Structures are given as C-alpha cells and as structure tokens.
Amino acid sequence: MRRALLELLLLGVAGSLVGCWVLLYELAYSTESLAHALFPGLVVAALLGLPLLAGGAVGVLAAAIAIAFVGRIPLVERDTGVAVVITSLFGLGVVLALSPSSPPGLESLLFGDLLGVTRGDLVISGVLVAATGAAVVTLHRPLLVAGFDRGSAGAFGAKPFLVDAALLVLIAVGVLVGVQALGNLLVISLLVGPAAAARQLVDRLPAMMGLATVFAWTSAIAGLYASYYLDIAAGAAVAAATVAMFLIAALVGVLRDT
Amino acid sequence: MHDPNAVTLVEARGLSAGYGTSVVLEDVEFDLRSGERMAVLGPNGGGKSTLFRLLLGELEPFAGELVKNTAAAFVPQTERSRLDYPVSALDVALMGTLSRLPWWRPNGRRERRFAREALGRVGLAELADVQFGELSGGQRQRVLVARALVQDAPILFLDEPFVGVDRPSEELLEQLFADLAEEGRGIMVATHDIEQTYRYDRVLCLNTRQVALGPPVQTLSRDVLETTYGGAIVTLPGEGRPAAILPPHHH
C-alpha cells in the first residue's frame, strides 16, 4: 500500500506537468489513443516475460509509425488515421490477451496493478518523473510560444513541428510510466483529470501545474483509502477520485464565476 | 529616409511568391532603410500577408531576391492569439525573449525587467499581471507590440496592427512607431486604411503585384488607388484626398 501511494505521488507530479500541456495543446484524445495503441506491446511483453516498459515503448513506436504511414494514404485525414490505427492495435492486443496461451493476470494491463508495484518500479518511475520534470522546465518557453499562436511561432524562434514532437515524447513517457500502475484504460485519468480540474480554478500556468499536482495527490490518497475500506480495485478507485475532483473543481469554478 | 547615414535593412528585387503552383504576388521591389516607416497598403488577398511571410522566412520566393541584413521582430494580427491561454500580459511580452535567449534557458530577472519596460512603453505597466484574454482588443494589440519590443530587433514588421484597436491605443502606437524609427529601426506596417498611410514615410501599394512605391502624398494618386483596390475612388466635397473606394464594376 505504501509503495502504491509513493508510485501515485510520483505519477501525480509527472502527470500534472505533462497534463497541463496536453490540455493546452488540445491533445487529450491523442493521449488516450496513445495509451490504447501500446496495448499489444504490453501484451506481447507479458507473454514473453519481458519488462512491460520495454513492450510499451515498442508499442508506442509501432503506433507512431503506423499513424505516419496511414496518414500518407490519400483522402485519409489525421483523425481517421489515428482512429483506424488505434482500433486495430487495441483489437490486436485484445486478441493476443485472450488467446489460450495467455498467462493469467493480463487484466492488470488494462486496469493496472497498483498494489503490485515493486521497489524496482518505483526507481524507474522516480527516474522518469525527474527526467519529465527537467524536460518540462527546459521546454517551457518554446511550448508556451508555439501554443499561444502557432501560425507566427516561427517568427519568435519556436519551431512548432519540433515542439509538437518533443511534447509527444513527453506524453509517451508519461503514458508509459503511468500504464503499469493504472493500466491501459485508466492512465488517461492521470494525464487529463488533475490538469482539467486545476484549469477550472486558476488562470496561470505555474499555478495550474502546482494545483494539478495537489489534486493528483489528493485523488491518490482518497482513491487508495476508498479502495481499502470499500474493497474495490485500487486503480479504478483512484481514477474515480480524479473524476470526482474534476467535478468539484468545475462546480466551484462555475459558482465563482456567477 | 531623411538620414543620409541610414543603412538598408531589407532589400527585395523582382520578388514573386505564392502557394503550390499559383502566384499570388509578383514584381515586388523595394528597400527598407533604418529609421524609415513604410506602410504596405492593399486589399484583403492583395498579397500583404504573403509579403510578410516572405520577410519572416516562412515562405520561399518563387523568383527574385530578398536580402534581410538583420534580425526582425514581428507583431501578428491579434485575433490569431489564443484568449483562453493561461498567461498574463507579462508572460506574453516575455515570449519575445525566445528569439534572443537560448530556448532552454529560463527567463531571469533581467528579462522580466526588460519585458516590464516594454509594457511600460506601450502604456500597460499597470496591467502587466492581468490575464491576456481579459484585456481589451487595443490593449492586447499593445501587449503584442511589447512582445516585439522585447525581441529588440532593428526591423519591426506589423501585420494590420490597428484592426479592432481603440483610438487612444492607435495614437499611442503611432507615437511609439515614430519613436522607434527615431531610434534607427525600420518599420513596416501592413494596413488597408488609406488615411493611415499618410503618416508614414513611404507607402508600398500591393494588389497581387507591386502597384506603386513612394511618399504617400506623391504616390497615392487616383489611378494608383484604383489599381490597388480594383475599384473606383470617391472624393468627398472639401477633401483633398481620395476618401472612399467603390467596389470594382462588373461588366
């Protein structure tokens, strides 16, 4: 339980920092798609007994290549390409997961295995969270400029294509780190929920990132308590607490502005 | 252009450009000198924005030569910036440091002071910490000008800076442009307001090609304006200058 909490606190920092940019760049759908796309990678890694992180990384790479490839087919728009690739990959993952040779416990890939977090997982998360934090601080100015007015970003020294690529890498890392604890289906709650809740209440980016982290931590503690006392799945309880946090923030935001 | 020591900042020779295979601007030939304020006059779709994209290096010319001898700052049209973005006026002004400071270095105290001074020059020192989206249209435009001041470049390109701007903001910006030219900067302002161009040293008239270039009073003849706007000119009684443009005739 203590490891689960520590893992969630670490993920809360990375998820909130990256999550604020996910919202500002309107990439929530792409982020969710990315999480689903790496599913076959996770399943193959589980079937072969390899580290999930490695499988997920290969899955993300395969998805990116597939999306780039489909995007080159005439008359296929980017959204359509993403939808086709993601559905195909997720379907492939499910077929693999439900094959007779699958080891038990593959549902943890979908919903996470928060209480099974090992000391090694924590170390990996710690390193990746530190790297994400450093990257968010370093990339802050180009991200801010390119997101504010994409069309004229070049005149201010920002290269939108490179900024997008860097942000996608950050999102992929965030998803990869979070997917072990919260699973393929719930990791999106970590990357979007706290940032969306914070956005309802503050109008400055540093404050938004700070408040999102506080919300993520609060959801983590509330979710784990709920899981323990109500005997429900930990990952789902944390995701539900994040949603509740968002609804409360949205209500407070609306009441404050009226 | 009054200064014999003025240096050429931008030089365009036989410039043509467009998108895909279609040419939207041709025969453009001008130079911008230090201390000069030049208006770029033309209708929507006349090639003003294309010229600015060329000048900013976002578009390669089809033909001709464009030499930019120094760095340029830019003020885009205000409606292109996002109002829902969680930034203050100061944050937006600070974005101007990205073209001068390496991208990985956070803004320091020096940059903040510089950005506050720039906001002071556009009369917004008091509103530095206000959310950008909560400012009026004129104030937002002034913040974008402050951002260009933070870029601190010898050339300043402004794309329709007076659209949606209130009268006090307009006067303040006009005075600021005069001061900046006095400091030796070259300023190019895209506009579709004829009256405004009379306050500049020279006017460059565009309508898919260069129609005319020169001091406004000598250059803006009835013929030039009709060619620039593709319509007929109306002169109001008692006015010396053409006052309105009628849409082109369709035969």
Q: Is B74 on the interface with A (CB under 8 A)?
A: yes
Residue B241 banded pLDDT, cuts 50, 70, 90 = low
Give residue limits of the domains in chain B. Answer: 1-70+154-251, 81-152
Domain that holds residue A216: 2-253
Q: What is the rounded distance in angstroms from the CA atom of residue A179 to the CA atom of residue A191? A: 11
Task: Give B200-231 pLDDT, tens digit per residue.
Answer: 999 999 999 999 999 999 999 888 988 888 77
- Give me the amino acid identity at A206: P
Q: Quick one: pLDDT at residue A134?
A: 95
Task: Give A212-248 pLDDT, tens digit per residue.
Answer: 999 999 999 999 999 999 998 888 899 999 999 999 9
Q: What backbone torsions phi and psi does residue B68 show, to the nearest 5 degrees?
A: -115, 115
Q: Which residue of B has its CA nearest to A23?
A: B85
Q: Quick one: pLDDT at residue A17?
A: 95
B67 to chain A, closest Cα gap in Å: 16
Are A154 and B95 spatial neighbours (Cβ–Cβ below 8 Å)? no
A63 to chain B, closest Cα gap in Å: 29
Q: Is A203 on the interface with B (CB under 8 A)?
A: yes
| Average pLDDT value for chain B | 88
| Over residues A37-61, mean pLDDT | 84
Q: Is A138 on the interface with B (CB under 8 A)?
A: yes
* A87, pLDDT greater than 60: yes
Q: What is the rounded distance in angstroms from the CA atom of residue B221 to the CA atom of residue B227? A: 10
Q: Is A149 on the interface with B (CB under 8 A)?
A: yes
Residue A75 lies in a domain: yes
- What angle (nearest 5°) sits at the alpha carbon of residue A155, between those of residues B213 and A168? 150
| Over residues A162-186, mean pLDDT | 85
Residue B250 banded pLDDT, cuts 50, 70, 90 = very low
B102 to chain A, closest Cα gap in Å: 9
A148 vs B58, B82, B99: nearest CB: B82
Residue A247 lies in a domain: yes
* pTM: predicted TM-score of the whole model, two decimal places: 0.87
| Cβ contacts from A onto B, under 8 A | 73
Q: Please give the C-alpha separations between residue B90 and each of A143, A228, B72, B78, B175, in angstroms, as whole numbers.
A: 16, 47, 21, 16, 22
Task: Give A94-119 pLDDT, tens digit per residue.
Answer: 888 887 776 666 777 777 777 888 88
Residue B1 banded pLDDT, cuts 50, 70, 90 = very low
List residues bridging with B186 in a β-sheet. Answer: B155
Are B69 and B7 spatial neighbours (Cβ–Cβ below 8 Å)? yes
Check residue B166 and report its DSSP letter: -
Residue A28 lies in a domain: yes
Q: What is the rounded distance in angstroms from the CA atom of residue A75 to the CA atom of residue A68? A: 14
Count of domains observed in chain A: 1
Task: Look up the ipTM and state it.
Answer: 0.85
Q: Quick one: pLDDT at residue A64?
A: 77
Task: Give B154-212 pLDDT, tens digit per residue.
Answer: 999 999 998 888 888 888 999 999 999 999 999 999 988 888 899 999 999 999 999 99
B96 contacts in chain A (CB < 8 Å): 156
For residue A224, the domain's CATH number is 1.10.3470.10
Are B43 and B192 spatial neighbours (Cβ–Cβ below 8 Å)? yes
Contact A144 B91 (CB under 8 A): yes
CATH fold of B1-70+154-251: Rossmann fold (3.40.50)
Residue A152 lies in a domain: yes
DSSP three-state, residue B70: coil
Residue A258 lies in a domain: no
Q: What is the rounded distance in angstroms from the CA atom of residue B59 to the CA atom of residue B50? A: 8
